[in-house]
Amino acid sequence: MGKLDPTRLKDWEIAELAEENMKPLYQLARDLGLAYGELLPVGEKLAKIDYARIWDRLRHAPTGRYIDITAITPTPLGEGKTTTTIGLVQGLGKLGKRVCGTIRQPSGGPTFNIKGSAAGGGLSQCIPMVPFSIRLTGDVECVTNAHNLAMVALTARMQHERNYDDDKLNKLGLRRLNIDPNNVQIKWAIDFCAQALRNIIIGRGGKMDGFEMESGAQISVSSEVMAILAVARNLADLRQRMAKIVVAYDNHNNPITTADLEVDGAMTAWMVDALNPNLVQTIEGQPILVHAGPFANIAIGQSSIIADLVATKLCDYVVTESGFAADIGFEKFWNLKCRMSGLKPNAVVVVATVRALKMHGGGPTVKPGAPLAIEYKQENLALLEKGCENLVAHIGIVRRSGIRPVVCINKFYTDTEAELKLVCKIAEKAGAEAAVSDHWLKGGDGAIELAEKVAAIAQEEHDFEYLYALKMPLKQRIELIATEIYGAKGVTYSEKALEKIKKLDANPHMRSLGTCMVKTHLSLSHDPNLKGRPRGWELPIQDVMVYEGAGYVVPIAGDIKLMPGTGSDPAFRKIDVDVKTGKVRGLF
């Protein structure tokens, strides 16, 4: 790597230098095994791939080994899960394996807020970094526009039903839907952390200025449209799912769908090109497919089923990533994504850092932008050992699925040998393999031990089983996830949540939907302040949403927002453009 030194260069500087020697698109496509016409270039450095052509050609080909990357409960800084995903792809490449990564597209919210981009870091990142982090090929804009088109249709219909009598509606070919303005299920979408838009009043003015009511905005990646992009298997499947989105209820509590508004076809039109996965590469030249969005705390948080299915036909090893920690990201991968795709993992990696484990042991609060406390820079085995309770809990979650995980200790320069050995010892005692990985500093060379252990585990036979059967009542599922995955002693419900659960369980069709829990990613519990492995707490379910198009119901635990907020020291303060070259500076 020579001049690419992560100890003296920022991530964007490493990416910019690495792009000078990146593989041409045609070579990357050839290495991935694409045939003529299956690469869809978007400029000189980006491309989409024609998933339908590839699937038609390779649907009967052998399926590659499937590896999921998850993690312990993170600090607000994140623990390098995407960096590890890319590092493992590079490490498997060093072992001569035919390998591909599948990751999610970054959201503009965290990219311009506190967390920054999701391109990886150090010598384990994907390039080209700037277009990857800002817009890529426009999939998120397509999701945003398709979602907002549903809101346009809904609010316009409410206005016209208020202003027109039945004769006028009939002449227009419309039937009166009698939408209840107090029972609208979706909000407007924007791909930024815009807390000022969480609760707004729309339709102010005269009768031609819309229907006045309470509304708000959610971050685009939490949209059901993004969820459908993640789980759809093809265009026909996406089209059917788009028609099932419940946008509101009428005055008799009957669902109003996008099909009722006759907007489902137009919404699908926005999504046709977005259904093709995006192709980028690691700085060592391995292919990475980028598709669907992040935020497993408020969404499914997985790369798309389409990307994973295609990748497992093109490569011998596929490394994918689930959002946040094993309690939410892996649980959704396990019980939603795998069930929908038919794929089963051959190995699971749990990423941990000494820094996060010390925090879970009672270390000082870790805040973005603030200097790390001395406890995180000096050896402290007692703090670390206490915090490993969180690691053991996440190992147990993965083992509950029937997979023996590999714990990857993402090495920081402040970690001591005694600390690294202690984490390995505790992980192995809990029934996992363990590997220290230095991929941030050394790229694929630093991930060889991890790659070897993952490749070995991937050859083993596993008794992979889902946590619940779809016939299990929703309330029982929620309590199973709460007690066996999160470690709660029980569950409490608001009256609104209980009423919705009762109605859903009475509907045989709804009983066939999966369960996508919404809760904080900063704790095994619903309370972000409860670190380590909390005990003796109850999970409060405040509400339940229905994502019928995506194929699951969404219980909401605790006080969590579908629209994050922008912090006081956001990343956008450091991002600028060199006006002479047009190059973006300051992304991290």
Phi and psi (nearest 5°) for 447?
-110, 15
**Rounded-to-integer distance, Cα 432 and Cα 349, Å:** 10
Q: Are 220 and 288 in contact (CB under 8 A)?
A: no
- Residue 547's DSSP bridge partners are 552
Beta bridge partners of 281: 127, 287
Q: How far apart are the first and last CA of the chain?
A: 20
- Catalytic, 187? Answer no
Active site residue 81: yes
52 an active-site residue? Answer: no
Active-site hit among 82, 83, 102, 258: 83
Whether 500 is catalytic is no
- 416: which 2 tokens? 């001591």
User: Is 112 designated active site?
Assistant: no
Cα–Cα dist 295/63, whole Å: 28
| 188 is an active site residue | no
- Smallest Cα–Cα separation from 271: which of 291, 285, 246, 290? 291
Pairing status of strand 217-219 against strand 317-321: unpaired
Nearest to 220 by CA among 247, 193, 191: 191
Q: How far apart are CA 29 and CA 59, in angstroms?
A: 18
User: Do the beta carbons of residue 257 and residue 265 sit within 8 Å?
Assistant: no
Q: How far apart are CA 514 and CA 552, in angstroms?
A: 4
Question: Which amino acid would we find at residue 154?
Answer: L
Active-site entry in 81, 355, 411, 519: 81
> Among 393, 412, 430, 451, which one carries the catalytic annotation?
412
Catalytic: which of 12, 188, 333, 440? 440
Q: Which two tokens stand for residue 450?
A: 């991890």
List, as one string, the DSSP characters of 527-565. -TT--SS--S-EEEEEEEEEETTTTEEEEEESS--SS--
Query: Distance of CA 152 to CAs 157, 181, 186, 261, 442, Å?
Result: 8, 14, 11, 10, 50
Residue 190 contacts residue 220 (beta carbons within 8 Å): yes
Provide CB contacts within 8 A for 187, sequence distance 6+. 151, 215, 216, 217, 218, 562, 563
For residue 410, give the nearest of 456, 462, 355 by alpha carbon: 355
Rounded to whole angstroms, how far apart are CA atoms 552 and 244?
Answer: 12
Q: Is 361 in contact with 418 (CB distance < 8 Å)?
A: no
Active-site residue (options: 104, 244, 337, 339): 104
Which residues sit opposite 314 in a β-bridge? none
Catalytic one of 295, 324, 333, 537: 324
Catalytic option among 48, 94, 97, 115: 115
Strand locations in 404-475 (E): 406-410, 433-437
Annotated catalytic residue within 15, 18, 217, 296? 296
Residue 351, token pair as written in the block: 């990423």
Spatial separation of the C-alpha atoms in residues 588 and 585, rounded to whole Å: 9
On the CB side of 115, CA atoms within 13 Å amount to 27
Active site residue 211: no
83 noted as active-site residue: yes
Q: Are 439 and 91 in contact (CB under 8 A)?
A: yes
User: Tokens 């820094």 — which residue?
Assistant: 355
Active site residues: 81, 83, 104, 115, 296, 324, 412, 440
